[in-house]
Chains A and B, each alone.
Chain A
Amino acid sequence: MNAAQEHRGPDDEGTYEDPQRRISLGVRRLSIIDVAGGHQPLSNEDGTVWAILNGEIYNSPALQERLRARGHRFRSRADTETLVHLYEEYQEDLVHALKGMFAFAIWDERRGRLLLARDRFGEKPMFVQRSDRGLSFASELSALVGASGRTPDLDLDAMDMYMVLGYVPGPRTIVQGIEQLLPGRLLTWDAREDVIDVRPYWSARRSPPANHEAEEELTAETLRLLEQSVAGTLVSDVPVGIFLSGGVDSTLVAALVAAASARAPETFTVGYDVGQVSELAEARKAADQLGTVHHELVIDQASVARRVSVVLSALDQPLADPAVIPVHAVSELARRHVKVVVGGEGADELFGGYPRYRWLIRSTQVKRVLPERCAALGARALAFPPFGAQSARLADVIAPQTTRERHLDWVTARRRYARPQMYGPALRSRAGSEAALDSLAPHLDGFSGELGGDAFMQLDQRHWLPDDVLYKVDRAGMMNSLEIRTPYLAREVAEFANSVQATTHLSGYGKKLLRKALETYFPKERSRRRKTAFRVPGGHWLRGPLLPLLEHQLDGGTLVQEGFIDREFLRASMDRHAGGEDRTSILWPILAAGLWLDRYAGHS
């Protein structure tokens, strides 16, 4: 199991087995803090508490100082050792003292209990498998798959959800019998009784008070919290870089890091040799103004096919988000210079960066005033092709539909309606499944009736953020042995952002408070820029360099051969795409699933 995860931790490895052979812990380590003294697993003084950690506890130094004052003796500065002693103080409640991104396991020899925990937003993964041999867990799905001796069957419902959503929502995974521990959850396993208990210790919750504060006050608070969070993520024995796209989120983070660092930080960005290349220019401009040491990488058409097939097939679970490609590339670039970078992930979900939130609010308003029959008629008229893309959007806004379905269709380009034609015999029974839609419901607690911006911001924070955005960033980073830290996801920042009215966040171009905060560093025109972060010319690539990969899927891919995807449908989609119609939203998920499945089934 350990060997399967070598890329996550190339610097070191270690194992522990308890005397009664109830449990065995294994670790692969990427050394960031206390590079020499942090060998894992680590135990307390008498060897009764053992811990392994994937990730980073940002407030570990402060916690160690405090624990020392209480009489604990430390052998290293490693944050894994902090966990051990903190556990002695608080047991399971130790999570409440932690800041950072983490997935960890603590074995309590005396009580015969295993504790597994995952950070609040799910930055670090944790997979769990129950079997007659007990409980297994790992940072990567493939480690569990590899250890189980035989290739587990695919979970067809998960496959269907992937096809609809573009990612597999937790706690499910793409294979049967293995689950993810959800973000903000604790799992305890009592080895004596063989009882498992999972409970939440934190969850993202939108609950803003009535507007009673001046925008200036909220902006000042945003800056204060981000400054602290950035300072926290810079606690490290190694140099830290920044992913800089030139958009609001990453530029603000870069400005904060530059302000907090003694020497000029290194920034990294990625661009393309097709389509818009202005991102490179934007990032360069920001880097110039901030005085960073800037690095650029261009993903050219010649290299993209290789990168796509390597990255998409190496993923634990299929992921249809094309942004994994630039994140992988920029991670590769950054790793040549640093071991740790900070990124802007979470800003869109917390501070209202997606325009659809505003559209959803508008659709709710329309629904209130427009009779359903009129709305249906109007929507049909507006969807008529000659009216163009703008009016098609408007058609979506007024069409009678529950807001939850509307949301799903907007974020998934209405893929679920293509399933009857898209699915081959192996998946056909799921063509009408509502599993993807149903998976949204548990994250809408606290909301009822007509859902608005608040509900969907919360939903994105709990559904899309962990299983698409953070999954993508963690895997792309780890494939390059690069750690990516996300200051926007500090709980203090998140709790604050979630206690500010959606209308405040969404005013102007959205992310109002971040734009305002950025004005502290840059003149007004910059902060007005719209979202740009690492956009991908996926449609372009699918007509050019990726065409051979698609053709291979058509003729030799497991996805078609085993009847998951209908061959004729795929061919027709490819033809239409080649003919100029944009079918990226269908072709990319199929390609991503195909490449992943070929490797999983051992056909590549």
Chain B
Amino acid sequence: MAGPLCGALVTTWARPRVLVITPDFPPVKGGIQILSHRIASSFRMLEPTVVTVDHPAAEAFDRMQTFEIVRVRRQPGRRAFTTLALNAGATRVALRDRPDVVLSTHIVVSPTAALLRRQLGIPFVQYVYAKEIGAKPQLARFALTRADRVVSISRYTTELAIAAGAPADRIALISPGVDAPAVTRTDRPLDGPPTVLTISRLEDRYKGHDVMLRALPLVRAEVPDVRWHVIGDGPLRQTLEDRAQALGLGDSVQFLGRVSDEARDEELARANAFCMVSRLPAGRFAGEGFGIVYLEANAHGVPVVAGAVGGATDAVVHGETGLLVDPQDHVAVADALVALLRDRDLAERLARAGRARVEGFTWEAAGGLVEAELLRVLT
């Protein structure tokens, strides 16, 4: 009886420990939040401890997890202070636990990762997406030149990382995964108006809601009862609503705001097309790193329309799982949507292929590859 118990103890002791430092973690919603959680949850060989930021609903969420989560207090309205507190908290946990390796899921926590590396010799792996590289070029350079390995989420992100100073041979391109829905509806409702869906925070102009508003009157000219449902909230919402009104779009557009996961899934189950025509922002700023949301739409059996730039070109295969268009050409966007809404065969073919392709994007697979990178820098 002592034997198996000892064995279990030995394995537990032998499991190397990874400190995951992340400013973005559930229950807050968003792509990086999901990614941080799913990756940490999928480790088999490594024992994770997550250091992140507090949230009112965090306690209930954290109880459900299989690993330790340490939360530092959020400084309301002062993001910079929260980031400082997170870095300090991560340092404290690292001194307590002496992890074997650090996963920094955002460049804003790279100062701690780099400090631990220099002072304690703990190697670190840096995750990069896109937007943050453009927004904080100096910090990005700092993180990318000090990390032992860099995980990029798309070819586009890899290009941005190399341009920001990451040595090409230290970058691993690992596509994110996608949560498969419990049930995938294969039959779109035939009654009811044809619906186009967009999901994103209404914060960044590059997501292309403005172009979509320009396209919609043209779509409506050919598909008169078309509806555009916009999920998400943010500073741009009122501006977009006013513009929809000025264009006389009336009932054709519905801004749904922030919705529950269930309501979101319900919208995805009913939509005839998903559309988010992210473009590359101007100047040194970066656009869509990958666009997990395209895969989520595919997972629900919805064909997608995306901009033919940035990370979306990895998330969507043109003519196979969706249509890639010039994201600044509203006439082209309208054409693509009309094609999906009118040509049932095309829509079904893309939806089927999209669902099949999504099966290759599991979080288990992505997590395994990230874990391999972490183990690699350990030795």
Pick from B221, B246, B330: contact of A93, CB under 8 Å: B221
Complex: chain A residue closest to B283, CB-CB: A220
List the A side residues contacting B214 at CB < 8 Å.
Answer: 96, 491
Chain A hits for B282, CB < 8 A: 217, 220-221, 223-225
Question: Are A228 and B328 neighbours in the complex by a CB distance under 8 Å?
Answer: yes
Cα–Cα, bound, A216→B239 (Å): 21
How far is B239's CA from A209's CA once the two chains are assembled, in angstroms?
Answer: 6
Which of A63, A210, A217, A491 makes the CB contact (< 8 A) with B283?
A: A217
User: Which chain B residues numbered 232 to 255 have a C-beta less than 8 Å away from chain A?
Assistant: 235-239, 242-243, 246-248
B220 CB within 8 Å of chain A: yes
Q: Nearest chain A CB to B203's CB is how many angstroms away? A: 7
Q: Does A201 have its Cβ within 8 Å of any Cβ on chain B? A: yes
Out of B236, B285, B334, which one reaches A209, CB within 8 Å? B236
Question: Which of these, B203, B220, B239, B281, contacts A220 with CB under 8 Å?
Answer: B281
Asked if residues A202 and B246 are in contact (CB atoms below 8 Å), the reply is: yes
User: Are B243 and A495 within 8 A (Cβ)?
Assistant: yes
Q: Which residues of chain B are near A66, meaning CB under 8 Å?
A: 331-332, 335
Given that A209-B239, A223-B283 are known contacts, is A90 also in contact with B246, CB under 8 Å in the complex? Answer: no
Beyond A93-B221, A495-B210, is A205–B235 a contact (Cβ under 8 Å)? no
* Candidates B218, B238, B246, B281; contact of A97 at CB < 8 Å: B218
B218 touches A212 (CB 8 A): no
Residue A563 at the chain B interface, CB threshold 8 Å: no
Interface status of A425 (Cβ within 8 A of chain B):
no
- Closest residue of chain B to A212 (Cβ to Cβ) is B235
- Tell whether B217 is near chain A: CB-to-CB under 8 Å: yes
**Is there an interface contact between B285 and A205, defined as CB atoms closer than 8 Å?**
no
Whether a CB of chain A sits under 8 angstroms from the CB of B44 is no
Beta-carbon contact of B218 and A90 below 8 Å: yes
**Interface of chain B, main secondary structure:** helix
Q: Which residue of B lies closest to A208 (CB)?
A: B239
Contact A446 B281 (CB under 8 A): no
- Contacts of B237 on A, CB cut-off 8 Å? 209
B359 within 8 A of A: no
Judge whether B284 is part of the interface by a CB distance below 8 angstroms.
yes
Tell me the chain A residues, 488-545 only, with Cβ under 8 Å from chain B: 491, 495-496, 499
Q: Could you tell me if B218 and A96 are in contact, using CB atoms closer than 8 angstroms?
A: yes
Contact count band on A: 35 or more
Chain B residues whose C-beta falls within 8 Å of the C-beta of A216 in the assembled complex: 283
**B205 interface residue (CB < 8 Å to A):** yes
Distance from A492 Cβ to chain B, minimum over Cβ atoms (Å): 8
Docked-complex contact B246 and A209, CB < 8 angstroms: no
A207 interface residue (CB < 8 Å to B): yes
**B68 within 8 Å of A (CB atoms):** no
Known: A63-B331, A66-B331. A207 touches B242 (CB 8 A): yes
Give A59 to B237 CA distance when docked, in angstroms: 29
In the bound complex, what is the Cα–Cα distance between A202 and B335 (angstroms)?
21
Q: Across the interface, which residues of A come within 8 angstroms of B330, CB to CB? A: 97
Residue B97 is within 8 A (CB to CB) of chain A in the complex: no
Assess whether A93 is in contact with B220, with CB atoms less than 8 Å apart. Answer: yes
B247 lies within 8 A of A201 (CB): yes
Interface residues as binary, B329-360 with A (CB distance below 8 Å gives 1, 0 otherwise): 11110110000000000000000000000000
Q: Does B222 contact A (CB under 8 A)?
A: yes
Q: Does A48 contact B (CB under 8 A)?
A: no
Counting CB contacts under 8 A, is A199 at the interface?
yes
Closest chain-A Cβ to B197's Cβ sits at a distance in Å of 21
- Selected from B239, B247, B328, B332, the residue in CB contact (under 8 A) with A202 is B247
Cβ distance A58 to chain B, nearest Cβ, rounded Å: 13
Give the contacting residue for A217; candidates B220, B246, B281, B332; CB below 8 A. B281
Does any Cβ of B come within 8 Å of A14's Cβ? no
Given A66-B335, A97-B331, A446-B242: A90 and B281 interface contact (C-beta under 8 Å) = no
In the complex, A203 has a CB within 8 A of chain B: yes
Q: What chain A residues lie within 8 Å of B283 (beta carbons)?
A: 216-217, 219-221, 223-224
- 0/1 string, B207-227, CB within 8 A of A gives 1: 000100010011011100000
| Smallest CB gap from B202: residue in A | A209
For A495, list chain B residues within 8 Å (CB): 210, 243
Residues of A within 8 A of B236 (CB): 209, 499
* CB nearest neighbor in B for A70: B335
Residues on the A chain within 8 Å of B248, using CB: 199-201
13 contacts between A and B (CB under 8 A): A62-B331, A66-B332, A90-B218, A90-B221, A93-B217, A93-B221, A96-B218, A200-B246, A201-B247, A201-B248, A207-B238, A221-B283, A491-B214
Can you name 15 extra interface pairs (CB under 8 A) apart from A220-B283, A224-B281, A491-B214? A90-B218, A90-B222, A93-B221, A96-B218, A200-B246, A201-B247, A207-B239, A209-B235, A209-B237, A212-B203, A216-B283, A220-B284, A221-B283, A228-B328, A495-B210
B positions within 8 Å CB-CB of A: 203, 205, 210, 214, 217-218, 220-222, 235-239, 242-243, 246-248, 281-285, 328-332, 334-335
**10 closest residue pairs by CB, A with B:** A220-B283, A224-B282, A93-B221, A220-B282, A207-B242, A209-B235, A96-B217, A90-B221, A205-B246, A212-B235
